[in-house]
A and B are shown apart, each in its own frame.
Chain A
Amino acid sequence: MELRFTSRKNLREAIGDIGAYIILLVFGVMMLLPFVWMLSTSLKPPDEVFTFPPEFIPKHIAWDNYRRALEQIPFDRFFFNSFYIATTITIGQLFTSFLAGYAFARLKFSGRDVLFLIYLATMMVPLQVRLVPLYVMMRSFHWIDTHYALIIPALASAWGTFLARQFMLTIPKELDEAARIDGCNYVDIVFRIILPVSKPLLATLGIFVFIGAYNDFLWPLIAINSIPLKTIPLGLIMFQERIYLETPWNYLMAASTVSVLPLLIIFILGQKYYVRGIVTSGLKG
């Protein structure tokens, strides 16, 4: 009796597991389908793009599409711009967030809590609300249509500061106290004691900021006009608009594949840190 009861229960669990797998798989396919379709179209020669019913595997693989697509607009230039802008912003935000995060989490000074509250409050102010004043400010600095407009306003962020502070709160206070007794000043502590144990924070924050800056669209759309200064998202839009009439989807998909690829690589390599960042800011925030 006892045995039959357990085996029936196991059978039910097994059926549940199989059901779960099927649903997870269906959703997995739905999530991947656009990527597969993008890649598939990007490799089709022109006469195979508009076939019906659609084929996933092209009869003739046209690697040439990539070269041709990237020749139509200065994509190498956009890539360079995007990478150097995103890298500069990442380094800047790591620096400002790390230092301020330490001070907010571990040092006492008057006004600290009020100031941090202001940081928290601005986290709910979206870019769209700041758009007009920011544009007017950039215009008065003569930074419109320069990379300064993209980089300098992004060198600090409330979100990065918040994440850094949350991380610093988890480091044992004894580390600082021991270093103080050994005669370290606070700047020594930051760079010699805290920095080495903050690698997970820097990895998480770095990946987030880089991906965010690389994907940024609305502000560059407003701030940049000249073609040589454009970033990848702006380049894709330019491509989309330029070829609107004949729409060579294979070229457009090739350009999209190339722009997505760096993100996929970064995410797969840094997934551990990325997931941790989401969970920390999501559950403890």
Chain B
Amino acid sequence: MDGLTKKLYKLIDTEKYAGYILILPNVIFFFIFFVYPFLSVWFYSVTDWDLFSPLKFVGLSNYIKLIFEDDLFRKVLFNTLYYSFVAVPTALFVAYWLALLLNRAIPGVVFFRTIYFLPNITLMVAAAIVFSWIYQPQYGLINYILQKIGINGPNWLNDERWAMPAVIILENWHALGYPTLIFLASFQGIPSELYEAARIDGANWWYQLRYVTFPLSTPAIFFTLTTSLIGAMQTFDSFFVLTRGGPAYATTPISYYIYQNGFEWLKMGYASAVAGVLFIFIMFITLLQWKLRERWVFED
């Protein structure tokens, strides 16, 4: 062995250095493509730049414009909150009941679980194209089914009132399998002695749900609630494919607004300021989760 090989050998034989060597490839990519862009977005957010002319510092004026002058941004915020706070609770509510049914230890559970999960792995772009056909006003499947039960279906994607519900239905169809799976796993982790004890005390189905299943699944509920809300704040693909943000910006959420400002209107600084606001929202949800977790979640 020559000197260099010996030195290298010594490095990978020392716990500390081996650790640094093994994380190095990961850390390089991570810092260049994750940490640096996250830090520099705050720098871009105080500039005015169209990628081609020289970059101009504008201080906090992007943020001031965003908060006090931009009516479109107000609409975008409303859309984002409307979407997130309707789509997520409905999906979680349905998923919770489905998981309760799947937890009855009946045959065929794996079959149903697979079917519920299929939409989740399907690429959103293809799913949204299929749904745009389903939402077609004259020949679409949904309006046909609605007609069968005596309802005159709307012109889903071109109606300001119905475009958002259309996106929510698609997204919930796509998402439902994930919280169902998490809830089911959390139910299966509840020790059966607790149910036996409850039954001996005479607790019926509802009391078992209220005093055993529900409190013991609060960590799963909190986990899915926060991850789904954070995911909902970033939803882009379905909006892009289904509505392109329209009609009349009725379905432009914050992530679409970042895309538009940056890559359709070439306002890099302004897009970065919007991105900053999105990050603050997400951070707020995360912090809220930590705080509420301490107070509400039952953990042993």
Q: Is the interface of A mostly helix, strand, loop or mixed?
A: helix
**Are A109 and B15 also in contact (CB < 8 A) when A52-B139, A122-B38, A130-B34 are?**
yes
Chosen A-B contacts, 9 in total, with CB atoms closer than 8 Å, are: A24-B101, A34-B119, A104-B23, A109-B17, A130-B33, A156-B28, A232-B123, A264-B121, A278-B178
Size bracket, chain A contacts: 35 or more
Cα(A104)–Cα(B220), bound, Å: 26
Least distance between A53 CB and chain B CB atoms (Å): 6
- The answer on a CB contact under 8 Å between B272 and A132 is yes
* B23 and A27 form a contact (CB under 8 A): no
User: Total number of A-B contacts with CB less than 8 angstroms?
Assistant: 288
- Segment among A61-69, A112-120, A195-203 that sits at the interface with chain B: A112-120
The 5 closest A-B pairs by CB, nearest first: A186-B18, A109-B19, A156-B29, A100-B26, A130-B37
- Point out the residues of chain A lying under 8 angstroms from B127, CB to CB: 34, 260
Interface residue ranges, A against B (CB under 8 Å): 16-17, 20-21, 23-24, 27-28, 30-35, 37-38, 41, 49-54, 95-97, 99-100, 102-104, 107-110, 112, 115, 118-119, 122, 124-137, 139, 152-153, 155-158, 161, 185-187, 190, 211, 214-215, 217-218, 221-222, 232-233, 236-237, 240, 249, 252-253, 256, 259-260, 263-264, 266-268, 271, 274-275, 278-279, 282-283, 285
- Give Cα A136 to B20, complex, Å: 30
Report the separation of the CA atoms of residues A41 and B134 in the bound assembly, to the nearest whole angstrom: 11
A30 to B112, CA, bound (A): 12
Q: Which residues of B contact A (CB under 8 A)?
A: 9, 12-13, 15-23, 25-30, 32-38, 40-41, 44, 51, 94, 97-98, 101-102, 104, 106, 108, 112-119, 121-127, 129-134, 136, 138-139, 141, 144, 173, 176-178, 181-182, 185-186, 189, 219-220, 223-224, 227, 230, 233-234, 236-237, 240-241, 254-255, 258-259, 262-263, 268, 271-272, 275-276, 278-279, 282-283, 286
